[in-house]
Structures are given as C-alpha cells and as structure tokens.
C-alpha cells in the first residue's frame, strides 16, 4: 500500500466502505454484481489494511465487520408484487420479480469465511491454529460451491424452515420455494421408522440446523438463460446469480422448472452427538440429506495443499461452479476452542481460485437486435484459448458496461470465464492501448433498420422501437413463435430467414398461407421437407391456448406466466378485456408485466393479427379438458388467497376457478372468503376481520368444495 496521510486515509476508508456496501447490495440483493469476486476481495483487503493502520477510524458498521446482506430492507411479511412498488429495482441480469419474504432471526449467526488466494497464507492459517491448540487436529477439505447459502431447520425429522443468509443475523424465510427443490428432503429417512435406529446409524436429533449451498448446475443454467433470451429477458451473468435470483422467486411453481440442486456442509444444534464435523456430515447423508461426495479428510496442511492443487484442475470438469476450497478443523471441541471473529470462524478458511483470465485484442463490436428490439453489444476478440475453449466473442451487456470499462477498439482486454458460460471482459490493459485507439460508437440508430434507438432506464438497455418493421425483430418473433415450447413448428432460424428474405412471411399468420409450391421454389426444399413443414403447421392448430399465448411473444410474458394467465382468464378475449386493475389483482403480475400486456393488446395490428390467427383455427381459449369445471359450489363467490398451502397457490386458484369461484388479490367489502394458509398476510387478516369477511383454512376450503387434495392428481388442472 502506498504511504498516505491521515486525511487521505480517512477519505479512502470512506470511499472503500461506500463502494463495498454498493457491491454487497449489487451482489446479494440485486444478484447483479458489476465486479468480480476477486476485485471485491482486493477492495476489502485494502480497507482491512487501512483500518488496521488507522485504528481511530474503526467502525462497527464497516463492511469489514459484517457479512453482505440479501435482505431488501422491509420487514413486512406481505408478499410484494413485482414491479409495482420498487421491489424490482434490480437491473441487468436479475429476475425482475423480486419477492418479499418474512424475515426470521437466525438461531446461530450465519457467518462468512475468511479467504485467501495464496498457498502461503494457507500455511499461516495452519500456523495460527497450531499456536492456539495443543492437541492433534485434522482438517476437512471441501469444495467451495458457488451458489447461495441456505439454512435448513429440521424438527422431528421434518423440514421446518429454510432461511437465506440475509444479513447474517436474520434471513428471508424461503421455505415455500425450497420445498420445490427435489434434492432437499421434506422428511428425513430413518433406518426403520418407529423403532430405535439400526446399529451403526445415528438417530436423528429432535431438532437441528444444517447449512449449505443452493446452486444451479451448468446445464440448468444454460437452459434457463436460453429461455430468458427467448422471452427478451436479460440472461443471468452466472449460475450463482441464477440460483439466488431463483430462490427469491415469487412463484414457487417456477422454482421446479429451474433445475436447482443443493449440497449441505455444516450442522448445528444443541447437544448433537458428534465429535467431528465429518461424522456429522456422514450422519446427515445417512438421513437422506445431500452432502458433497468430493470432501476429504486431511491429516496435515501438506495434505490440504495437495487437495487444493488437485482440485484446481479437476474442478474444471465438474458439472457445477466452484470458486475455491473450504478448509475446516474437523474436531468440534477444537472448533469451539478456536471460536470466531466478528465475521468468520477461526477454525475455517477458504482458498479461492483466481478466475482464469487471458489478455487478447478487441477487434470490433457488433450490435445485435433481439426479438423485443433490445440491442446487445458483443465484442469480437482475437481468438484465444481459455478454460478449454477458444473464445472469439464476449458479451458487453449494455452501453453502461462499455462506458464503465472505457473500452477502445484495438485495446488489449482481460477476458474471464469464472462460473460464467459466456466469457466477459473484466478490464482493459491501459499500458497496451494503441495511440490511435478509438472508443466504439454505440449506435444511435438500429443497426438493422436505422430507426433511432430509445433507452429503457429500467433495464439499462437500448431498444429499437420499430417493432412493426425491423427485420431482425420480425424474424425473432417468428423464431419464437415456431419454437418447441410455443407452436412447435418444424423449422429453424435459417428457414425463417430464408422465408423472410423471399418475402413470403412478414406477419405470423403468413406462415399458414405458405404452399408446397412456394417452398419448392426455394433452395434446399424437397417434397418431403415441404410436406413435413406444412403438416407441422397444421398440427400447430391444436396447440393448447397457454402455449399459443406464449407464442405471441408479449414482452415479459414467458412460458410460465402465459400458462398462469391462460388459466386465470380462460380465453384470450377475457385477457384482452382486462383492465390494469384486473391484471394487478393477479399475484404474479406487477406493473411492468401489466403494462406490457395492455400495450400489446392496444396495438391495432395485434388485434388484426389475433383475428387472422383465430380464423386460421388457433386455440384462443382453454379447452374444456383444460379448465375442467368441477362444480358450481363457489359460483358468485370471490376468494382471496394468502399464505402457503400444502399445494402451490396456483393450484389453489385453479381449484377456485374449477368450482366456479373468482379469485381476487385484495380483501374488500365484496370478498366472500379469505383463504388463509400458513403465514397469511397480517394486513389481509386484519382487513378481513374489520370488514367481517369469513376467513377459512385450507382444510375448511376443501370441505367447502368437497375435495381431497391427496386424491387429486397433481396435474389435473394444468
């Protein structure tokens, strides 16, 4: 550190604290970090060094004294709608709908780990332990899973609660989401239920906590990002952000489709019957809890270092992201003896892998136009090997990111591939900047159709507003329309481009007037391929309404939301007639989505297109099979749903509709029932009491509609 005076130190400390808090917020709350972990750790180290050198500036609320927080600074337990009240202040790659969850105090603080990037410091960690402890000790070496921390409580063998780290002292209660992660058992496995545990197995304590990481394997991450790009949402930067964004999803149903996994690595509780950490984790595994298969006991720091070196290479072939190795003293009595600092245990540390990074020249920047008109800058690089692949292109995300990096064409840029699949440019090597290097010029006009671009402040993205006739957007809409989860028409991007270039398709209904004769005139078409294509178009007329709604490509409305809206409204006409208030009554719909729906239906060309597609025979209503009206028991009744149930809220709402009832979002004088599950919103309960609205439980609701949820197949209604 350069020598600086007291005044500069005070200024620098103030600056670093602010910066670190900002990055903590970007990382934990928005799930959209703008610097790498490595850069963050460098800032933190600098602050630590300054605070050590100038103790008079020490402060209990310095970021060096507490862990980052994923809480959003509101302690109401009402679930907040996305986008209507600032809850979705997240930019960039976070999920727009950020939910509110009840905040619950941690029984034991949830701390972070000290970390190092050098083997030398690992030896120092060992030397500190050896100084404090006289008896022999061993280590548990484990992979550092790059996900989001979770704390599970089991009572009497059942999952009681799942909390995020939060600010370390209290976390968000995400139980309703966590129950949708298949790896996490809701009921533990006993050797032989009801009898004393079999010999050699440890009985399950009455109550214990087990902490670990929820993470998204690379495969699931790639799939999710593909889907997000398809619906015009910004992709997640890396699997960690995707995992923590998913954990805060408002719609627990959607969790199931995200392919999250979990690994548990730290057990806590009163009077647990274990002498070592490894014993505790082995017992957890025997109860059916997911633990890492890659951990290893080490008898010395040399064995620890051998493990670190082995996994520095081996981790690259793992199907999930790791960002280091965690080393823990194995003996629990010695852990207690070593204790904690304000932020982390003295008995454990993390060795972090430096993200692999290469330096390569930036050749040019392309600007790609997506189906929703979003313009994404993409860097073309001098091809360079990185982590086993040749990197030629890297995303620059948006104009803000380009300005932040201050990149110039011809610059040598650092390219990194940490947990990310898409490589990213992290910095510029200024010492190598050519004298004549020029800043790339972010276009003012659409590179495809020349229309002046507009900036969407919310997403920090530029858009081409010419959705009517911008060729890239039109082709993008067709590509989305024909995709498997939409109309499932046998064609690919190249076919769409060919049909577009031949002037045969401009609007979605044009697809249905194509003839074999027209196709056979085009290059590469034969009778058989034309027949198959036309047959798949014909079949698409039977595609059910929820998928047709997805195919229309309304901004922010993806597969899951389309299915939910289709179930809620029953038909496109009912949806088109909905007011903003009607839309906002739906739990999962916030201001951004409601406006996107209203804007879409307000456009005359969309109305015309719907009529043409209707005449062609596409499904614009839920079929009888899909709606399955079960009874009229709730005809005329208005039901508000709040809290958690044994089934998802969507299923509850579908049941209300299936029995003739109407679901609304808020309690008013015209509400017939407030259907209150576990942790129902206190505001709603108070209002119901005040207005004399009958509050019914899940059980009472089933009695009312004469329904047994256990005998109803899960997917009858969907």
Q: Does 70 bind ligand IVH (CB under 6 A)?
A: no
Q: What is the rounded CA–CA span in Å between residue 296 and residue 181?
A: 26
Q: Which helix or strand (DSSP H or E) is residue 255 part of?
A: helix 252-255
Q: What is the rounded CA–CA span in Å between residue 335 and residue 325?
A: 18
Task: In angstroms, give the least distance from the CB of 180 to ligand IVH.
Answer: 21
Task: In angstroms, give the least distance from the CB of 691 to ligand IVH.
Answer: 45
Q: Does 373 bind ligand IVH (CB under 6 A)?
A: no
Q: Does 142 bind ligand IVH (CB under 6 A)?
A: yes
Q: Which is nearer to ligand IVH, 345 or 370 (CB)?
A: 345
Within 655-694, the residues that bind ligand IVH by CB under 6 A are none
Question: Kindly report the CA angle at 70 between 67 and 75, in degrees rounded to 5?
Answer: 115
Task: In angstroms, give the least distance from the CB of 27 to ligand IVH.
Answer: 11
Q: Which is nearer to ligand IVH, 110 or 407 (CB)?
A: 110
Q: Which is nearer to ligand IVH, 348 or 655 (CB)?
A: 348
Q: Does 145 bind ligand IVH (CB under 6 A)?
A: yes
Nearest to 550 by CA among 226, 102, 231, 144: 231
- Contact with ligand IVH (CB under 6 A): which of 80, 81, 91, 144? 144
How many residues of this chain bind ligand IVH (CB under 6 A)?
14
Task: In angstroms, give the least distance from the CB of 3 to ligand IVH.
Answer: 32
Q: What is the rounded CA–CA span in Å between residue 400 and residue 408?
A: 14
Where does residue 103 fall: left (phi above 0), alpha (psi -120 to 50 degrees), or beta otherwise?
beta
Q: Which is nearer to ligand IVH, 348 or 562 (CB)?
A: 348
Quick one: CA torsion of 450, 455, 458, 460, rounded to 10 degrees? Answer: 90
Task: In angstroms, give the least distance from the CB of 327 to ligand IVH.
Answer: 9
Task: In angstroms, give the least distance from the CB of 322 to ligand IVH.
Answer: 8
Q: Does 345 bind ligand IVH (CB under 6 A)?
A: yes
Q: Which stretch binds ligand IVH (CB under 6 A): 105-113, 225-233, 428-436, 470-478?
A: 105-113
Q: Assign 147 to helix, strand or coil.
A: coil
Q: Which is nearer to ligand IVH, 145 or 478 (CB)?
A: 145
Mutual orientation of helices 698-705 and 649-658 as an angle, nearest 10°? Answer: 30
Question: Kindly report the CA angle at 226 between 223 and 229, in degrees rounded to 5?
Answer: 150
Please write down the long-range contacts of 39-46, taking CB distance under 8 Å and 24 or more positions apart: 39/426, 41/115, 41/117, 41/352, 43/16, 43/19, 44/20, 46/1, 46/12, 46/16
Question: Kindly report the CA angle at 51 between 45 and 52, in degrees rounded to 5?
Answer: 90
Which one from 81, 144, 328, 684 is the annotated catalytic residue? Answer: 144
Burial of 524 (0-12, 13-18, 19+ CB in 10 A): exposed
Task: In angstroms, give the least distance from the CB of 212 to ligand IVH.
Answer: 8
Burial of 214 (0-12, 13-18, 19+ CB in 10 A): buried
Within 188-217, the residues that bind ligand IVH by CB under 6 A are 213
- Contact with ligand IVH (CB under 6 A): which of 240, 266, 417, 659? 266
Q: Which stretch binds ligand IVH (CB under 6 A): 111-119, 300-308, 599-607, 704-712?
A: 111-119
Q: Assign 664 to helix, strand or coil.
A: strand
Q: Does 166 bind ligand IVH (CB under 6 A)?
A: no
- Contact with ligand IVH (CB under 6 A): which of 350, 474, 519, 656? 350
Q: Does 63 bind ligand IVH (CB under 6 A)?
A: no
Nearest to 140 by CA among 348, 1, 422: 348
Q: Which is nearer to ligand IVH, 20 or 565 (CB)?
A: 20
Helices and strands in the chain, H and E counts = 25, 22
Q: What is the rounded CA–CA span in Å between residue 58 and residue 50?
A: 9
- Contact with ligand IVH (CB under 6 A): which of 113, 129, 369, 486? 113
Q: Which is nearer to ligand IVH, 312 or 626 (CB)?
A: 312
Within 246-265, the residues that bind ligand IVH by CB under 6 A are 265
| Residue number, nearest CB to ligand IVH | 149
In degrees and rounded to multiples of 5, residue 290 shows phi and psi of -80, 120
Task: In angstroms, give the least distance from the CB of 353 to ligand IVH.
Answer: 13
Give yes or no for a contact between 421 and 415, defined as CB atoms under 8 angstroms apart. Answer: no
In degrees and rounded to multiples of 5, residue 296 shows phi and psi of -150, 145
Q: Which stretch binds ligand IVH (CB under 6 A): 97-105, 144-152, 476-484, 508-516?
A: 144-152
Q: Does 125 bind ligand IVH (CB under 6 A)?
A: no
Mutual orientation of helices 6-28 and 37-53 as an angle, nearest 10°? Answer: 150
Within 309-338, the residues that bind ligand IVH by CB under 6 A are 326
Q: Which stretch binds ligand IVH (CB under 6 A): 108-116, 225-233, 516-524, 684-692?
A: 108-116
- Contact with ligand IVH (CB under 6 A): which of 29, 30, 71, 111? 111
Q: Which two tokens stand for residue 359?
A: 């330096």
Is 222 a residue of the active site?
no
Task: In angstroms, give the least distance from the CB of 42 to ligand IVH.
Answer: 16
Q: What is the rounded CA–CA span in Å between residue 208 and residue 267?
A: 7
Task: In angstroms, give the least distance from the CB of 249 to ligand IVH.
Answer: 20
Q: Which is nearer to ligand IVH, 292 or 518 (CB)?
A: 292
In degrees and rounded to multiples of 5, residue 506 shows phi and psi of -130, -40
Give yes or no for a contact between 171 and 110, defined as CB atoms under 8 angstroms apart. Answer: yes
Q: What is the rounded CA–CA span in Å between residue 318 and residue 311?
A: 10
By annotation, the residues acting in catalysis are 144
Q: Which residues bind ligand IVH (CB under 6 A)?
A: 111-113, 142, 144-145, 149, 213, 265-266, 326, 345, 348, 350
């Amino acid at each position: 550190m350069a020598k600086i005076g007291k005044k500069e130190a005070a200024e620098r400390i103030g600056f670093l604290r602010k910066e670190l808090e900002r990055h903590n917020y970007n990382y934990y709350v928005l799930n959209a970090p703008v610097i790498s972990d490595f850069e963050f750790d460098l800032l933190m180290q600098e602050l630590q060094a300054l605070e050590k050198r100038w103790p008079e500036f020490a402060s209990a609320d310095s970021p060096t004294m507490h862990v980052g927080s994923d809480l959003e600074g509101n302690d109401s337990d009402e679930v907040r709608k996305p986008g209507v009240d600032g809850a979705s202040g997240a930019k960039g790659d976070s999920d727009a709908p950020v939910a509110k969850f009840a905040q619950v105090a941690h029984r034991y603080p949830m701390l972070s780990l000290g970390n190092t990037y050098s083997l030398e410091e690992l030896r120092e960690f060992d030397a500190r332990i050896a100084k404090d402890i006289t008896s022999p000790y061993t280590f548990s070496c484990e992979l550092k899973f790059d996900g989001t921390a979770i704390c599970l409580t089991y009572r009497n063998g059942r999952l009681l609660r799942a909390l995020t780290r939060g600010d370390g002292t209290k976390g968000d209660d995400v139980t309703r989401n966590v129950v949708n992660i298949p790896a996490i058992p809701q009921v533990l496995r006993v050797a032989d239920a009801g009898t004393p545990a079999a010999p050699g197995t440890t009985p399950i304590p009455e109550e214990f906590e087990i902490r670990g990481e929820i993470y998204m394997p690379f495969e699931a991450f790639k799939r999710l990002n593909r889907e997000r790009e398809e619906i015009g949402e910004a992709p997640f930067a890396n699997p960690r952000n995707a995992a923590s964004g998913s954990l805060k999803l408002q719609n627990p149903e959607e969790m199931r489709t995200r392919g999250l996994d979990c690994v548990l690595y730290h057990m806590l509780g009163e009077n647990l019957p274990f002498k070592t950490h490894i014993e505790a984790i082995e017992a957890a595994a025997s109860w059916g809890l997911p633990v890492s298969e890659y951990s290893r006991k080490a008898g010395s720091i040399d064995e620890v270092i051998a493990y670190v070196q082995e996994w520095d290479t081996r981790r690259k072939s793992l199907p999930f992201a790791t960002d280091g190795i965690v080393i823990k003293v194995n003996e629990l009595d010695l852990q207690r003896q070593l204790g904690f600092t304000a932020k982390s245990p003295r008995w454990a540390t993390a060795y972090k892998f430096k993200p692999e990074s290469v330096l390569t020249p930036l050749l040019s920047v392309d600007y790609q136009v997506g189906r929703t008109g979003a313009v994404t800058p993409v860097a073309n690089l001098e091809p360079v090997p990185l982590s086993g692949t040749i990197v030629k292109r890297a995303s620059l995300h948006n104009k803000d990111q380009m300005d932040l990096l201050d990149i110039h064409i011809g610059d040598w840029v650092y390219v990194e591939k940490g947990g990310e699949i898409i490589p990213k440019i992290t910095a510029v090597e200024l010492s190598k900047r050519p004298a004549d290097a020029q800043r790339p010029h972010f276009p003012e006009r659409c590179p495809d159709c020349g229309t002046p671009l507009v900036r969407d402040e919310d997403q920090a993205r530029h858009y081409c507003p010419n959705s009517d006739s911008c060729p890239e957007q039109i082709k993008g809409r067709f590509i989305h329309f024909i995709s498997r989860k939409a109309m499932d028409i046998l064609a690919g991007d190249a076919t769409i481009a060919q049909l577009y270039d031949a002037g045969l398709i401009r609007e979605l209904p044009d697809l249905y007037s194509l003839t074999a004769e027209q196709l056979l005139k085009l290059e590469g078409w034969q009778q058989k391929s034309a027949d198959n294509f036309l047959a798949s178009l014909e079949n698409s007329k039977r595609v059910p309404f929820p998928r047709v709604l997805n195919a229309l490509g309304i901004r922010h409305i993806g597969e899951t939301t389309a299915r939910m809206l289709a179930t809620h409204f029953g038909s496109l006409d009912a949806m088109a007639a909905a007011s903003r208030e009607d839309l906002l009554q739906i739990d999962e719909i916030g201001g951004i989505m409601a406006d996107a729906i209203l804007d879409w239906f307000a456009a005359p060309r969309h109305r015309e297109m719907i009529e043409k597609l209707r005449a062609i025979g596409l499904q614009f209503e839920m079929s009888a099979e899909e709606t399955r009206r079960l009874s009229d028991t709730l005809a005329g009744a208005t039901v508000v749903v709040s809290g958690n149930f044994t089934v998802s809220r969507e299923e509850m709402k579908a049941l209300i509709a299936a029995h003739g009832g109407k679901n609304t979002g808020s309690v008013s004088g015209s509400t017939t029932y407030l259907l209150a599950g576990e942790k129902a919103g206190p505001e709603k309960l108070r209002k119901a009491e005040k207005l004399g609205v009958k509050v019914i439980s899940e059980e009472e609701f089933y009695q009312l509609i004469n329904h047994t949820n256990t005998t109803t197949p899960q997917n009858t209604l969907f």
